[in-house]
């Protein structure tokens, strides 16, 4: 799999995050199904926008790109994104790009004009086959500059002549830097070769980026297939409008992480089928948090039940829970096999959690079936990238000390309840809730957890 990575001139926004999370989920599911997945995700670390941002910040563009590569990994970790097999940087693959460009010139598919090199779209008969557009209907993408020297308005840059103050590399056409599209062609061919399985990205990349990738790569390969399957996730919107840095209506993941655990953001992003638009608002994010907490709570309650009494192999409910786990796995796989329908996969997890909760509530002893069901729920949640057994917690300097203090607090509250001092018991409960610690009274006694 090759998935287009970020252009490193800023923290990535929630719209970018949807793409990263979606294809991370797809990768995880392939691994779950037994595939050996080689996953390549690039960094575009030289680009017009990086140069412009570097000029604004008074920072060397290449240093700026490296800065935001490092910041990417911090946010990616918070979203539980698996590191790619290879994370190639555009700036480290200039020779490969020059080789492809020269090959296109040699076959007549590209031409040089005063240090710039353009791809001749009219000379590639299949141009437009991915997006379904004809050349006559097409308009240049946001990164394509109008240039009267081009033979056709849709011809796109493979190599750009260096302007004063810009980073540059030596080439047969003089000092310059690569165009945006050629970067992904060079890196995907180097690490996956021609005819690899899946090329992924957001639907905004279908044209012109992916269309141009196909043209230049298959032109260079003399008709050999570039990628076998193309997958695109739908936009994340704000008030029904596409979220993008150019429109200025975006939230960076770094900003969202200030008030939301990364696992909640991930849960929200996978709550809708990847090819359906997803509108961002705080209410939906809050609902996602509650949904994730339901699954985590179910796992936690099952664990507490198992810790209290171990497993009872002869429990008559054993078979029912095992069957429920098996049905959940079937439903989960059916949903994911149908174009990675994560929203429907969620339903399978919630149904299993509901069955587990009913068992814990109605039975004083746990069953071996509960252990099987819990293990299944944890495993399937992990396929989607969630650690249901170890949910993210508000960081504390000393968790062991907090646990000891809370045990004392619960003992004090228990004595208050025994004395029927309900006012004091409620005061302790409500005061702790304000501090982010939730007390839950159960037939087995009070328990506490940090509220995320």
Q: Write the pLDDT tens digit of every residue in 98-110.
A: 999 999 999 999 9
Say whether 213 counts as a known binding-site residue: yes
Highest-pLDDT range among 131-140, 185-194, 389-398: 185-194
Average pLDDT over residues 44-73: 95
Confidence check: pLDDT of 48 > 60: yes
Task: For the chain, give every domain's residue range.
Answer: 305-383, 399-450
Say whether 241 counts as a known binding-site residue: no
Residue 444: per-residue pLDDT: 66
Average pLDDT over residues 50-66: 95
Confidence check: pLDDT of 249 > 90: no
Confidence check: pLDDT of 44 > 70: yes
Residue 223: per-residue pLDDT: 93
Confidence check: pLDDT of 395 > 60: no
Whole-Å CA distances, 364 to 8, 17, 57, 313: 55, 43, 63, 14
* Reported CATH class of domain 305-383: mainly alpha
Q: Write the pLDDT tens digit of every residue in 372-387.
A: 999 999 999 999 999 9
Average pLDDT, the chain: 90
This model's pTM is above 0.75:
yes
Confidence check: pLDDT of 214 > 70: yes
Average pLDDT over residues 424-430: 89
Q: Write the pLDDT tens digit of every residue in 287-301.
A: 999 999 999 999 999
Q: Write the pLDDT tens digit of every residue in 215-247.
A: 999 999 999 999 999 999 998 988 777 776 667
Q: Write the pLDDT tens digit of every residue in 339-369.
A: 999 999 999 999 999 999 999 888 766 678 9
Residue 31: per-residue pLDDT: 98
Q: How confident is the model at residue 272 (pLDDT cuts 50, 70, 90)?
A: very high
Whole-Å CA distances, 189 to 4, 99, 273: 13, 12, 30
Q: Write the pLDDT tens digit of every residue in 153-166.
A: 899 999 999 999 99
Residue 141: per-residue pLDDT: 46
Say whether 209 counts as a known binding-site residue: yes
Q: Write the pLDDT tens digit of every residue in 305-336.
A: 888 776 555 555 465 899 999 999 999 999 99
Q: Which has the minimum average pLDDT: 19-23, 59-63, 302-306?
A: 302-306
Could you tell me what percent of the chain has a pLDDT over 70? Answer: 91
Residue 313: per-residue pLDDT: 54
């Amino acid at each position: 799999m090759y998935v287009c990575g970020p252009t490193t001139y800023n923290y990535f926004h929630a719209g970018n995050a949807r793409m990263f999370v979606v294809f991370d989920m797809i990768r995880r599911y392939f691994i779950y199904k037994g595939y050996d997945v080689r996953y390549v995700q690039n960094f575009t670390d030289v680009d017009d926008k990086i140069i412009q941002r570097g000029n604004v910040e008074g920072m060397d563009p290449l240093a700026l790109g490296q800065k935001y590569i490092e910041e990417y990994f911090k946010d990616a970790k918070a979203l539980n994104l698996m590191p790619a097999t290879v994370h190639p940087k555009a700036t480290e693959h200039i020779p490969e790009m020059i080789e492809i460009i020269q090959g296109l010139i040699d076959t007549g598919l590209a031409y040089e004009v005063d240090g710039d090199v353009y791809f001749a779209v009219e000379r590639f008969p299949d141009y437009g086959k991915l997006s379904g557009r004809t050349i006559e209907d097409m308009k240049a993408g946001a990164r394509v500059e109008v240039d009267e020297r081009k033979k056709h308005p849709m011809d796109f840059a493979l190599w750009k002549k260096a302007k004063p103050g810009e980073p540059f590399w030596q080439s047969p056409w003089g000092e310059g830097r690569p165009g945006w599209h050629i970067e992904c062609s060079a890196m995907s061919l180097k690490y996956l070769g021609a005819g690899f399985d899946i090329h992924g990205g957001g639907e905004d990349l279908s044209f012109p980026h992916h269309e141009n990738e196909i043209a230049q790569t298959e032109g260079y390969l003399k008709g050999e297939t570039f990628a076998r399957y193309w997958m695109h996730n739908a936009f994340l919107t704000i008030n029904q409008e596409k979220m993008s840095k150019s429109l200025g209506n975006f939230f960076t993941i770094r900003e969202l992480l200030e008030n939301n655990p990364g696992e909640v953001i991930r849960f929200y992003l996978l709550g809708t089928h990847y090819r359906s638009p997803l509108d961002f608002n705080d209410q939906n994010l809050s609902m996602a948090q509650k949904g994730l907490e339901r699954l985590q709570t179910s796992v936690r309650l099952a664990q507490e039940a198992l810790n209290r009494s171990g497993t009872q192999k002869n429990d008559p409910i054993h078979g029912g829970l095992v069957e429920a786990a098996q049905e959940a796995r079937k439903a989960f796989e059916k949903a994911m096999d149908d174009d990675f329908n994560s929203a429907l996969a969620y339903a399978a997890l919630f149904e299993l959690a509901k069955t587990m909760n009913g068992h814990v509530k109605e039975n004083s002893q746990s069953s071996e079936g509960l252990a099987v069901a819990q293990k299944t729920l944890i495993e399937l949640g992990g396929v989607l990238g969630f650690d249901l057994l170890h949910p993210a917690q508000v960081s504390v300097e000393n968790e062991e000390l907090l646990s000891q203090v809370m045990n004392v607090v619960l003992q004090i509250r228990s004595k208050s309840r025994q004395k029927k001092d309900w006012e004091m018991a409620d005061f302790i409960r409500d005061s702790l809730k304000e501090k982010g610690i939730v007390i839950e009274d159960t037939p087995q006694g009070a328990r506490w957890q940090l509220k995320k």
